[in-house]
Amino acid sequence: MKKMIYVSSVFLIFILMNFSVYASDMPKNIMLLFDIKNYNKEIDNTIDFFFKKYLGTNDQLIIMTPANKLYSYSNKILSESRKKINKEIKDAIKKHTSISGADYRNIYTQMLSMVDEIRGDSGSQDVKNLIAAYENTREELRITRRINEKILLEFSDVFKRSQEITGNTENYIYLFFQKEYRPIPDRVTMNRLRENQQIAFKAMEVFLEERSKTDFDSEKIGEEFKKAKVIFNFIYINPKKLSTKRYQLIDNSGDFYSAMTKIVEKTGGKKTTTTTPKIIFEDI
């Protein structure tokens, strides 16, 4: 039967799964990881397409939802109730996105409130305090991400262990990550901040400088995936970007994109930036 497993027990996943005898076609062990803030129709379509067009009859499947809960399915279970499992997975991802995305949405709302205050006619000291508070929330926004180095290294161990049980398989990870946007002041306000010598440097640093800090040793993770014979794929999802004159929206996850791209290159996987994530499976 289907098993729900927490990430802390991830090393048990393949051992706990009900492995069946494979047919002559090379079976695949597949992990779909979702780190998304908003569930939409394109995510729904991607899961449907995956089940209908990509998932093979001999394949094993593991799903990690945005709440870091894992569901594992043997090929036997998948063959018996594929339609039911498809719906179950979509329902779980939708529910867990709503729960896990709450922190991201709350922090984003706080940032937006600060930007609106800066946009007003506050004095220099007030603006300094608001910029400092914004800088702190920017770091909090990064911390809301569900994928970290520890989880990815645990996954490499999962595939290494699975080789001892299943023998020769093709191993794939597909990470679906929604690009993070963050609000910054509109252009008129940014020009006003540039002209204020007391706050210009700090304002430009906090609002415009792209963070280079990363929580990932991409070289190490890539090497461990290679040892486990895992092909790592990264889907960077562009959410809908609303147009407004109150503020500007800029990418806040360039550091994450860079780290994942290095792992993709190390393992020979694929990466794509798209609003329609199902395309990662269309040319396979």
Would you kindly state where each structural domain of the chain is located, as residue ranges?
3-7+31-282
**CA separation (Å) from 143 to 137, 202, 221?**
10, 22, 19
What would the CATH number be for the domain defined by 3-7+31-282? 3.40.50
61 with 32: CB under 8 angstroms? yes
Length of the chain: 284
User: In angstroms, how far is the first alpha carbon of the chain from the final one?
Assistant: 29
**CA separation (Å) from 141 to 35, 83, 135, 138?**
13, 36, 10, 5
pTM attached to this predicted model: 0.88
How many CB atoms neighbour CB 236 within 10 A? 20
What's the rounded Cα separation, in Å, for the pair 24 and 21? 10
Phi, psi of 98 (to 5 degrees): -60, -40
pLDDT in tens, the chain (284 residues): 444 445 554 544 554 444 444 444 678 899 999 999 999 999 999 999 999 999 998 899 999 999 999 999 998 999 888 999 999 999 999 999 999 889 999 999 999 999 999 988 666 778 999 999 999 998 888 888 999 999 999 999 988 887 666 667 899 999 999 999 999 999 999 999 999 988 999 999 999 988 766 779 999 999 999 999 999 999 999 987 666 778 999 999 999 999 999 999 999 999 999 999 999 998 76
Kindly state the tokens that stand for 179.
């690009």
